Amino acid sequence: MSYADLVIRNGPILTMDPQGRIVDAVAVKDGVFVAVGSKPEVKRFIGPTTDVVELDGRTVTPGLVNTHDHFLQHGISSAFITNIRYPVAKSIKDIKEILLPRITSSSKGQWVLGHAWDETLLEEQRFPTRYDLDSISPDNPVYIKRVFQMGVANSKALEIAGITKDTPDPLHGVIEKDDNGEPTGLLRGRATLLVTDAIKWSLEDKLKAINQASRDYHAVGFTTVIEPGLMAEAIEAFRESHRRGDLSLRTLIQVGFLQDMEQTRWAVQNYSVGGDDKLRIIGLKMAVDGGVGPRTALFYDGYRNRPEHKGNQMISDDDLKEMVHLGHVNGFQVAIHAIGDWAIDVSMNAYEYAQKKSPRPEPRHQELAALKKKIEVIDKRDEETGRNSGSLSLTLPTKQRRASPLKVYENAV
């Protein structure tokens, strides 16, 4: 008789199987259920070394799968970065007061980081500036990230990043400047990389962040996450965590964000689909446009206050088609960030191109943006163009929007 490693009993235990069964007990051996049913059915799997968990009426559910979340980024935020999200911070004044203790306790020159403000929720109804942050931190570099593709750096952070009034806007990014041409500290799109690339996280920092993220995710019931967009150093951190036996959350990695054909070739030459039950490479990640907040999402009709501005297309139609096709023929699930309706068309056309050129059963490529709106746009354009998106076997993952800190499930294991 092979005894179970773990028995959980005195449920209820929600199986979520096709019959919708609710059972009293389960037994697990080597990570696999070996018995699901009543307490008498499971009792025989209990041996001298079996770990028995008594639920005492608490509910067990299957682990949740987070289909799109920046897991490592969350861990870094949770372990190292000050929370300035609304409603923790309701104003720029609140942001400064929250950051000040971290600044005063940091050594001179140490980075101080805060995540993540939204000007539409702040009492001042404006963007923070470098001058707001300079008033509390003249000697430490400070960078506060917006909820998406924007951030504000103080003067010290701009100095370290080499940003001056003479610095040109990077491709697909904007360095906001005042009437005198001086940077205000506000960075949009890929201009944020000028600062974030200057912030260095060691391998041990990343390992600490992965452990912290695992604790946070487990606390709310997640057991699996798709990590959308990691490059070599970050992927190696996950592999090292796994080698050390610390990685407790099943992690599925999409390699990216890939910005051009050269990077896509690098990805398929250095990585392949595969792994084990704990850590797997599953796909490639690309981005056609940005976000609505920083006005970088790509729309046919532009923006209400700037109808002539359509947003940013970060990869050309032809380049995206070849990038997607290269990932497609190498067996990857290709995920594309596309927010605006124009960007959605560009990405859908790339998927169609790859599938027509090299048919593949159930490729399960991933189209990412606001789910309901995306389906409406895809259906409308299919009707207008005769495109058959239903034949492409796409998946449309949902994204989590958190307005408050993660809360622990009550009455659950």
pLDDT digits (tens, 9 = 90+) for 45-68: 999 999 999 999 999 999 999 999
pLDDT at 404: 30
| CA 363 to the chain's CA centroid | 22
Burial class (CB in 10 A: 0-12, 13-18, 19+), 171: exposed
Average pLDDT over residues 273-301: 93
Does the pLDDT of residue 286 top 60, yes or no?
yes
CATH 2.30.40.10 fits 6-62, yes or no: yes
Task: Judge if the upstream peptide bond of residue 257 is cis by omega within 30 degrees of 0.
Answer: yes
User: What is the chain's Cα-based Rg?
Assistant: 24
What CATH architecture applies to the domain 75-196?
A: Roll (3.10)
What are the pLDDT digits (tens) for 152-167?
A: 999 999 999 999 999 9
Q: Using CA of residue 363, residue 369, residue 372, residue 374, what is the dihedral sign?
A: negative
Q: Are 208 and 244 in contact (CB under 8 A)?
A: no
| CA 242 to the chain's CA centroid | 20
Regarding pTM above 0.85, the answer is no
Does the pLDDT of residue 402 top 50, yes or no?
no
Please tell me if the domain spanning 6-62 has the same topology as the one spanning 75-196.
no
Instruction: Map out the domains of the chain as residue ranges.
Output: 6-62, 75-196, 203-392
Burial class (CB in 10 A: 0-12, 13-18, 19+), 383: exposed
Angle at Cα 226 formed by Cα 121 and Cα 34, nearest 5°? 130
Does the pLDDT of residue 25 top 90, yes or no?
yes
Select the more confidently predicted residue: 412 or 10. Answer: 10
Beta pairing partners, 335: 285, 366
Read off the tokens for 21.
């069964």
Q: What is the mean pLDDT of the chain?
A: 90
CATH class (in words) of the domain with range 203-392: alpha beta
DSSP 3-state of 408: coil
DSSP 3-state of 295: coil
What are the pLDDT digits (tens) for 72-114?
A: 999 998 999 999 999 999 999 999 999 999 999 988 898 999 9
**Confidence band for 410, pLDDT divided at 50, 70 and 90:** very low
Q: State the DSSP H helix or E strand holding residue 355, giving kind and residue range, or none if neither.
A: helix 341-357
What percentage of the chain reaches a pLDDT higher than 90? 81
Beta-sheet pairing, 32-37 with 22-29: antiparallel
**Confidence band for 398, pLDDT divided at 50, 70 and 90:** low
Read off the tokens for 13.
């235990």
- Measured CA to CA, the distance from residue 271 to residue 283 in angstroms comes to 9
pLDDT at 260: 97
Q: Are 90 and 58 in contact (CB under 8 A)?
A: no
